[in-house]
Structure 1
Amino acid sequence: MTRSPADLMRVNLLEVFNEPDPDRRAAVIAENYAEDVVWHEPDRIIHGRTELARRAAELRAENPDWTFRPAGPAAGLDDIGHLGFRYGPADGQPSVVSGMDIARTRNGVIIELYTIVTEIRQPS
């Protein structure tokens, strides 16, 4: 099944970065990202599926009770997808981080991902 850029953005946020099970996360990464995917975070660049999975696990470990939530609908245009997000405690407290993921896709997989953080607030 070939996913649209908007579908890939939802998968990226909800089935990778919110997934607590490392085996399920790895399976989703293998299906939805190019082997040589490049992920640009605000403070680093990650290369390849293995490093993407490692970094996703690190983020989950830093705040295990936090979740990512979409901030509006995912959208796509040609081979570009984007989705705003909020990140923070899962228990209904306000989000701590907000931003946007933007991805270049090819043949139904993410080939390059950019994470832009637009706001960071102190947790209450």
Structure 2
Amino acid sequence: MQQLNGSEPAFGAILLGNLNRVFNERNAARRLEAMAEFWAEDAVMFEADTVHFGLKAISDNVGAVQARLPEDIRFMPAGEAIANHGSAMLRWQAGSEDGRTAVSGTDIAMFKNQRIHSMHVYLDPF
């Protein structure tokens, strides 16, 4: 049996940081600054109907998602992040303090050099 290299738990922390500091940041400049900490420059985000290449395109997509949601909606984890051999997944929901959920889903990320290199976003059906 081969031991894991200790970086696996950090992947969960990266996904949590991404959720809190990227998906909850409405200011585009601050969002891009946070993305530089968590994402590789050549990152790709896959959604069911589109693919976003690079930090600017991913940030613009996050901004477009936020623009469709009420201002009081926050993205939050809906469970523990789980890491597995260079990848990690995080279930999340976007909701308000009064318990209203606007959208929920799962992010599955692949990592390169301790940064998100690709992310597949799966939205839960409503």
Q: Which residue of 2 aligns with 1:18?
A: 24
Query: How far apart, in 1, do the equivalents of 2:14 and 2:93 lie?
Result: 17
Unaligned regions of 5+ residues in structure 1, if any?
Answer: none
Query: Could you tell me the percent identity over the aligned residues?
Result: 29
User: CA RMSD for the aligned pairs?
Assistant: 1.7
Query: How far apart, in 2, do the equivalents of 1:68 and 1:92 lie?
Result: 14
Q: Which residue of 2 aligns with 1:72?
A: 79
Unaligned regions of 5+ residues in structure 2, if any?
Answer: 1-6
Q: TM-score, normalised by structure 2?
A: 0.85
CA drift at 1:60: 1.3
CA drift at 1:111: 0.4
Count of aligned residue pairs for this structure pair: 118
CA drift at 1:78: 1.9
Q: Which residue of 2 aligns with 1:45?
A: 51
> 8 Å contact 1:8–1:81 — kept in the other structure?
no
Runs of 4+ residues deviating >4 angstroms: none
Structure with higher Rg: it is: 2
Q: Which residue of 1 aligns with 2:68?
A: 62
Query: How far apart, in 2, do the equivalents of 1:35 and 1:66 lie?
Result: 28
Q: TM-score, normalised by structure 1?
A: 0.86
> 8 Å contact 2:86–2:110 — kept in the other structure?
yes
CA drift at 1:53: 0.9
